[in-house]
Structures are given as structure tokens and as C-alpha cells.
């Protein structure tokens, strides 16, 4: 079985400050991990993914995420937030060793960046 948790419904940060959106996961084998962003009235857009290799993954719009196997976490980070980063962020996981090609998505975290 696979599952993912985003413990914060909402994250507030001031523009220019660093931001972190948290994600923890559970899989039987090794994980494939994804972050997506959803702007209002739009579909989800891919930000970055971890498959294997370096634990620090860099993605679109200056975002990065760090895979931590011991803590089963994949937190999304950005050094300096922009107002335009305000959106809904989804973490997703898929068990690399499972037979299913269906990822499990978290409930989403609303990021609000204040000017």
C-alpha cells in the first residue's frame, strides 16, 4: 500500500522569505515522488520528481525538494518566495516496486505568499 500526507492545509509566508511545504510518504518499496502546483481554475502542473540518485532535486520556478529516506519525507522548498508562488501544491507518491501505475496524491497545501 502507498500513502502520502501533507500535514499543513495552509502555509503563509512573506515575500522574499524561504518557504517549505511538507510531505511525508509511505510505500512498501522504493518511492517515486512528485510535486505538482495548481493555480486557480487550472489543472495541475508538474514541478519536480525524485526517482533515484541525488537526494536534492531541482525543478521549475526555482523550487527544489529534498528526499529523506530515513524520515520518509520529500519537502518542497524555495529560498525566496514570490507572491506569484501563491497556489495549491500537491505531493504524490508511487511505489516503484508495485504493479500499479497509479500515484497517490496528498490532499494539497495552499501556499499564500504575502507582499
8-state DSSP, 30: P
Grid-cell match 501533507, residue found:
6
Residue 72 burial (CB count, 10 A):
16
All cell numbers assigned to 55: 537526494
Which residues touch 8 (CB under 8 Å, ≥6 apart)?
21, 22, 109
Q: Which is nearer to another protein, 82 or 96 (CB)?
A: 96
- Binding status of residue 94 toward another protein by CB under 8 A: yes
The residue from 1, 54, 70, 100 that contacts another protein (CB under 8 A) is 100
Question: Using CB under 8 A as the criterion, what x/- string covers residues 34-73 for binding another protein?
Answer: x-x----xxxxxx--x-x----------------------
Distance CA 91, CA 115 (A): 25
Q: Which is nearer to another protein, 42 or 80 (CB)?
A: 42
The residue from 63, 67, 89, 90 that contacts another protein (CB under 8 A) is 90
Residue ranges that bind another protein, judged by CB under 8 A? 32, 34, 36, 41-46, 49, 51, 90, 94, 96, 100-108
Amino acid at each position: 500500500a502507498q500513502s502520502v500526507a501533507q500535514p499543513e492545509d495552509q502555509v503563509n509566508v512573506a515575500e522574499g522569505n524561504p518557504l517549505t511545504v511538507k510531505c511525508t510518504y509511505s510505500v512498501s518499496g522504493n518511492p517515486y515522488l512528485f510535486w505538482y502546483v495548481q493555480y486557480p481554475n487550472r489543472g495541475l502542473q508538474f514541478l519536480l520528481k525524485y526517482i533515484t540518485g541525488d537526494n536534492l532535486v531541482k525543478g521549475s520556478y526555482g523550487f527544489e525538494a529534498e528526499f529523506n529516506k530515513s524520515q520518509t519525507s520529500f519537502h518542497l522548498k524555495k529560498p525566496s518566495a514570490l507572491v506569484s508562488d501563491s497556489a495549491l501544491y500537491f505531493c504524490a507518491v508511487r511505489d516503484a516496486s508495485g504493479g500499479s501505475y497509479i500515484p497517490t496524491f496528498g490532499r494539497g497545501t495552499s501556499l499564500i505568499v504575502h507582499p
